[in-house]
Structure 1
Amino acid sequence: MVTSNDIDIQGVRVTIHAEHPGVTIASDIARSWLLVPANAPDRFAPPTEAGVDAVILDLEDAVSAPDKPSARQRVADWLAAGGRAGTSSLWVRINDATTTFWADDLAVLAEAPSIAGVMLAKTESGSQVEATADRLPEGTKILALIESAMGLEAVADIGRADGTFRLAFGSGDFRRDTGMSDDPMAMAYPRSRLVVASRAARLPGPIDGPTLTSNETILQRDSALTANMGMTGKLCMRPEQAPAVNKGLSPSAEDIVWARETIELLGANGERVRDGSDLPRLAKAKKFDALAAAFGLS
């Protein structure tokens, strides 16, 4: 049996599910976000064993300008044929609002069968999010992808815009725009800005940029960095990256044991709190315990 309940995670009210095979992880807490080129329909549904939390069909950077109309049609046809059934949470990355492709993408998706939402490429203002929301069915969720210095400067406005569901970091394009390196110290500032903006806007934790290699050691290192920065999701380029990302962005076995011992010690409702440090500890423990249930960890 699958159980679900609402809980406050980092100030955000989300629905969690005790995970069993085939159960979709709630988008609020999804860890691995797989980007799939929209002109590669054979890759739209990753293998179940990959454990990908969310799939993003990419109409933007993964598709050249001449191929965008045909890729857009492939996505529409696949959705119309029921291709979404049985997949992970499904999203579509649309082209940025300054291009002619943006309106074409939205015209097709507004008529397509239901998807979880869209990722707006190169978001640089809250008004771009709101204009996107206006062209989609009411309530469609929007992942705002921050990929430039201008986008980062406007991130607070973007986070508060109607329609923004979660922020994401387009780290590669951001480095190209700013000239920054991929050194963790150089990237600490933009990552921190996204985390703070998300928290201030009462959004779920932001999604970090991808690691380009499938080397497990490097993926584990980068996923640990993502978690340490306060980000709760990570873009993936290949399905085989998902297990390491999911592990790195989930409570560890030690976290789960500590959480359950802390809840037992202090009481689920804080009835045995002893001093001012106990309530923050209990809140952290309850967060770990809730995530463990959501991800099916014991």
Structure 2
Amino acid sequence: MNAELEARRVERESSRVISAHARSWQLVSALRVEDFDVAHLGRADQVILDMEDAIDDRLKQQARDHVLEWFAGGGKAWVRVNDVTTPFWSDDLSALAGSPGVLGVMLAKTESAEQVSVTHHRLGGHVPVIPLVESALGIEEATSIARAPGAHRLAFGSGDYRKDTGTANEAVAMAYPRTRLVLASRIGGLTGPIDGPTVGSVHSLLREQSEDAVVLGMTGKLCLDHEQPAVINEEFSPSPADVAWAVDFLEKFEAGGRVIRDGSDKPRLARAELITRRASYFHVDPR
């Protein structure tokens, strides 16, 4: 690796939003090595090298080799591994165990807490796991999954969920599984969940689906290309106007002003505190 690329990697890592609060999670096929550094140096808060989705069984080992070679060259990223019910899961974990480039793993098609805990254990008990919930059973087991040892944040595999349930790709249909993941995350003490990706390059649809997720309490979103992270980062960050309201509300509260006087005040106080915390993560200043 040349010195210029190393310097750019170091600079990007110094400004990266940590995984606990990351908004945009860019999936990159492990077969497309040429995209690894492009994604890593791009706008996504976190990058996931994908060894599972749309990779033919005959190419699984090649995908692993690409990831390990990139890690050996100093790269760092999350990795989506195959689900526990496949023969590839064990090989994925054996290959990744001990690799310094692995920031964490996303576990495909998670349907139980045991699948999370055994994955966490197989990786030495220190690598965080993002359970990707993609089925009706996974949604119903979301609370136990969120409480599993090693669970870092929940993520919604919305496409496979729709295939499993026959649900339409509309806000009203997606409200139930999204809400289940939000509640499970709260019960499990995790940051709000990561929404599924928006397919296509129409930014108006991406904004609409991001807004739907934010309203329900989700705090991040998977993405599939290099342009989507900028939109997602904007939509999942508090606006300057929201931050200005929160700062003003908290200042009046601290000063003993007439701002906390009815049943709506405690929820407003909690919202103001949440907005200011998230503003600090993403360096959003009030207008």
What TM-score comes out, normalization by structure 1 length? 0.87
1:135-150 correspondence to structure 2 within 5 Å? 135-150=122-137
SS across alignment from 2:227: helix
- Does the 8 Å contact 1:33/1:54 carry over to 2? yes
2:97 equivalent in structure 1: 110
1:97 Cα offset (Å): 0.1
Please identify which structure carries the higher helix content: 2
CA-to-aligned-CA distance 1:151-185 (integer Å, 9 cap, x gap): 11211111111111111000000101111111111
1:138 Cα offset (Å): 2.4
Same amino acid, percent of matched pairs: 46
Q: Aligned partners of 1:283, 1:228: CA distance in 2, in Å?
A: 15
Q: Aligned partners of 1:229, 1:217: CA distance in 2, in Å?
A: 19
1:54 equivalent in structure 2: 46
Q: Aligned partners of 2:61, 2:159: CA distance in 1, in Å?
A: 25
1:271 Cα offset (Å): 5.4
1:45 equivalent in structure 2: 37
1:233 equivalent in structure 2: 220
Q: Aligned partners of 2:40, 2:207: CA distance in 1, in Å?
A: 21
- Does the 8 Å contact 1:121/1:145 carry over to 2? yes
- Does the 8 Å contact 2:27/2:50 carry over to 1? yes
- Do structure 1's residue 169 and structure 2's residue 152 form an aligned pair? no
1:280 Cα offset (Å): 3.3
1:82 equivalent in structure 2: 74
SS across alignment from 2:201: coil
CA-to-aligned-CA distance 1:254-276 (integer Å, 9 cap, x gap): 10110111121112xx8556435
Cα gap change, 1:131 to 1:49, in 2 (>3 Å):
closer
Unaligned runs of 5+ residues in structure 2 are: 1-11
1:287 Cα offset (Å): 1.7
Q: Aligned partners of 2:268, 2:210: CA distance in 1, in Å?
A: 24
Cα gap change, 1:214 to 1:202, in 2 (>3 Å):
same
1:34 equivalent in structure 2: 26
1:125 equivalent in structure 2: 112
Q: Which of 153, 159, 166 is matched with 2:140 structurally?
A: 153
Q: Aligned partners of 2:226, 2:54: CA distance in 1, in Å?
A: 16
Cα gap change, 1:110 to 1:241, in 2 (>3 Å):
same
C-alpha RMSD over aligned residues: 1.8
Cα gap change, 1:205 to 1:169, in 2 (>3 Å):
same
1:1-298 correspondence to structure 2 within 5 Å? 22-46=14-38, 50-84=42-76, 90-267=77-254, 274-276=260-262, 277-298=264-285
Please identify which structure carries the higher strand content: 1
Q: Aligned partners of 1:214, 1:294: CA distance in 2, in Å?
A: 27
**Corresponding pairs, count:** 272
- Does the 8 Å contact 2:80/2:107 carry over to 1? yes
Q: Which runs of 4+ in 1 moved over 6 A?
A: none
Q: Aligned partners of 1:109, 1:49: CA distance in 2, in Å?
A: 22
Q: Aligned partners of 1:96, 1:63: CA distance in 2, in Å?
A: 13
Q: Aligned partners of 1:146, 1:274: CA distance in 2, in Å?
A: 39
Q: Which deviates the most, 29-38 or 288-297?
A: 288-297
1:41 Cα offset (Å): 1.2
SS across alignment from 1:280: helix
- Which protein has greater RCO, CA pairs closer than 8 Å, 6+ apart? 1
What TM-score comes out, normalization by structure 2 length? 0.90
1:44 Cα offset (Å): 1.2
**Letter of the structure 2 residue corresponding to residue 75 of structure 1:** V
1:67 Cα offset (Å): 0.5
- Does the 8 Å contact 2:156/2:196 carry over to 1? yes
